[in-house]
Structure 1
Amino acid sequence: MTKKSVFETLSNIEINPDNIEKKGKFNYISWAAAWQDVSQKYPDATFAKRLSEVNGFVEVDVTIEGKTLTEQFPILNYSNKPVQNPNAFDINTAFQRGLVKCLAY
């Protein structure tokens, strides 16, 4: 039997219905629930966050089984518009959204 790829493994996770939230017309799972699912399958998985050298962006690295993916994510407001002078909450929200986006790859 061949080993499943990380993508195959993660894309076949059964999402606990209690972890599905609704915002507007979209369903989503929180970054914490997403990371919990990843860390259950890959206990050695890690992530790192930093401000990007490109103004208005954050960067997130996710490493699973020795392979690192990096995602840049813009700092956006509640309407998904760029934030001119982001505060700590705006930056933290962008980090968490970037983490989940990186996990989607």
Structure 2
Amino acid sequence: HRICDTTALLEDMAAAGKRILFEAQLGALRDVYYGIYPYTTSSCALAAFAPVGGGLFTHRVDRVVGVMKAFSSCVGEGPFLTEMSPEEASSLRETAMEYG
């Protein structure tokens, strides 16, 4: 484990030409600004916030790659906008190997 000034660390890495990857597991519907309140996280979960939250100046970002699931799922509290029967859910789990 390492505790450090992430801005200095990331700026040094960027200046040296290193590639930096940020990852997040929450989607826009859990985002504090664009999500379904009160079922949001405490911070912005969108790609635009990743460098800011990590301590990297945004002018260093030259590429954003978004990956999304083919269908929505939800774990935790709050409404789920589309629901299906238990039989449909079972079929989807088996076919897509999706277990929420």
| Structure richer in strand, relative to its length | 1
TM-score calculated relative to the size of structure 2: 0.28
Larger Rg: 2
